[in-house]
Structure 1
């Protein structure tokens, strides 16, 4: 059976030029480690909470429930695993970042912070994303089969354009629009 370490060593190193591939493989790998791992990347560390019944000082008021962070000593086994997801994600991400980029993420406190910095390096600001999306959409909208191009070559080129669009905006085109473009 393949170990986590050997699977980690098969992950691609972060590369600005191949960011979309790196992102896809990391997202797949992280999600396979734990069903909530991607949530740690997109939303930040998971806070384990508990509901505590509070009795008000005023005897005329009803007791109420209050949600608060749970003490680590009271964590169940599954809660301990969830609490460690951010550390695991940071370890996995940092293990795929080459030395020349490590200094950009070294002071990050969470996996989300690391991911956001790496994404900004590759994708840029919202304005840059919009420009990239506009260019990718122009390529999609003007897509035609080239003279002397095989169907297989056309399909590969089309998928590269579509993947670029979808890496920036997953819902830019409906499945119907995509199907009509290539049929």
Structure 2
């Protein structure tokens, strides 16, 4: 049974569940879970099994610990997959092989990955607030793009994202944009602070 306050797949004591949807979101959460659970387990998933050179009948206590960790890494990944997704990787011999197969299945080869990055970069560069869109709705679209890029290994700097949000606002927001630029060092400004300021201004506009 899931811990109270957490839906299935959301407990801090169990890995996030992947059912074939939103792989990038799951992968990021799974990385955090494994790193927090046991960083050595994460290393096994990312880099491969701990090496044991002795024959089984000559295993030392250290060998057995390595085998146990290798099996635990594979077991945790299995527990994080729905039956359908488990079937895709059930023939894999190691946790790293499972992890890589999922990555290739849902992110594609390096060439496909580059194409996806190009598409998201274009969306990022052309990002604009839409007519009738609230700050919250606009920010949600923006985060979907930046998270998608981050999941593919392309991280945008905070200052760049702050400037991008400000440039995406319509001309009616120009006085507010100018005030923010004059009052803050945009290179150091947190995105959350910016959005909070914009939301407060939006509420004030609605009161008029």
Per-residue deviation, 1:36: 1.9
Aligned residue pairs: how many? Answer: 155
Aligned to 1:133: 117
Distance 1:98 1:167, change over 3 A: same
Q: Which has the larger share of helix?
A: 2
> Structure 2: where are the runs of 5+ without partners?
4-9, 167-208
- Contact kept in structure 1, 2:15 and 2:76, CA below 8 Å: no
Aligned to 1:108: 92
Tell me how far apart the structure 2 counterparts of residues 161 and 13 of structure 1 sit (CA, whole Å). 22
Aligned to 2:172: none
**TM-score (ref. length: structure 1):** 0.73
Per-residue deviation, 1:101: 3.0
Q: Which has the larger share of strand?
A: 1
Aligned to 1:29: 33
CA RMSD of aligned residues (A): 2.7
- Contact kept in structure 1, 2:20 and 2:85, CA below 8 Å: no
- Contact kept in structure 2, 1:15 and 1:22, CA below 8 Å: no
Per-residue deviation, 1:115: 0.6
| Equivalent residue for 1:75, pick from 46, 57, 62 | 62
- Contact kept in structure 2, 1:16 and 1:121, CA below 8 Å: no
Tell me how far apart the structure 1 counterparts of residues 51 and 80 of structure 2 sit (CA, whole Å). 26
**TM-score (ref. length: structure 2):** 0.65
